[in-house]
Structure 1
Amino acid sequence: MASPTSSRSNSPPPQDLWSSILDSVSSSRAIPSKNVIILGEPQSGKSTLAQHLLQKKDNSDTNGKDADFALGYDWADVRDEGDEDTLARLSVYTVPSSAPAHLSLLPHFLPPKASITNTLVMIVLDWTKPWSFVDQLETWMEWVNTWVKGDGARDLEVAREEGRERLQAHLQHYTEPANPGDAAAAPVATSSLTSTLLLPLGPGTMTSNLAGLPIVVVCTKADQIDGTEDTVGLGMVKGKGGEWEERTDGIMQVLRTISLKYGAALFYTTTQPAILSVLRSYVLHFLFMAPFVQPGETAVPHKNPFPFNARPNTLDRDRIVIPAGWDSWGKIGVLRDGFDAQRWGEAWDKDLEEGVVGGGGGAREMYRVLVGGDEGPKRPPLPALVTTEPDQNFLSKHYEALQKDPNRDPRAQFRPDPATTQTAGAGVVGPMGSSSFSLPSVEKAMMDMDGDDVSAKLARMAGASRSRAQIASALTNPPSSGMSQPSTMSPPLRSGTTGGSQQNEHQVLQNFFQSLLNTRRDSTPAGGATGANANPAPGPGDTSGSST
Structure 2
Amino acid sequence: MAAKIERASTYTAGSGDADARNGEPKRNLWTSMLESVASGKRLPEKNLLILGGSTDAQREFLESLSADEEGRNSERQKTPPIANNFALGYTYYDVLDTDQDDTLARVSLYLLSQPSGEFASLVSPLLTPESIPNTALVILLDWAQPHLWLRQIWSWIQVLEEVMGHTTPEARAEMEETMSSWRERGRGGSSTNLDGTPSATAADSDGSLPLGPGEWSEPLDGGSLIYTSQNTPSQLPSLIHSTLGITSLLKRQPLKHNVIDRDKIVVPPNWDSWGKIRVLGGNFDTEVASKGWSEDIKLPLGSTLQSLEALEQARAESAETGKYVQEDSAIARYEDWCRDPNSGGMAVVESAMGGAAAVGVDSEDTQEFLEKQLKILEAFKTKLPEKTPDNNISTASRRPDFADEKSVSEHIGPVQFNMGGIQVDADDMLQRLKDRNAHTASDDEDAAEEQVLPAPTITKEYDNEQLHDFFSGLMNRTGGAAESPR
Higher-helix-fraction structure: 2
Larger Rg: 1
- Per the normalisation by structure 1, the TM-score is 0.44
- Per the normalisation by structure 2, the TM-score is 0.49
Instruction: Tell me which of the two structures has the higher relative contact order, counting C-alpha pairs closer than 8 angstroms and 6 or more residues apart.
Output: 1
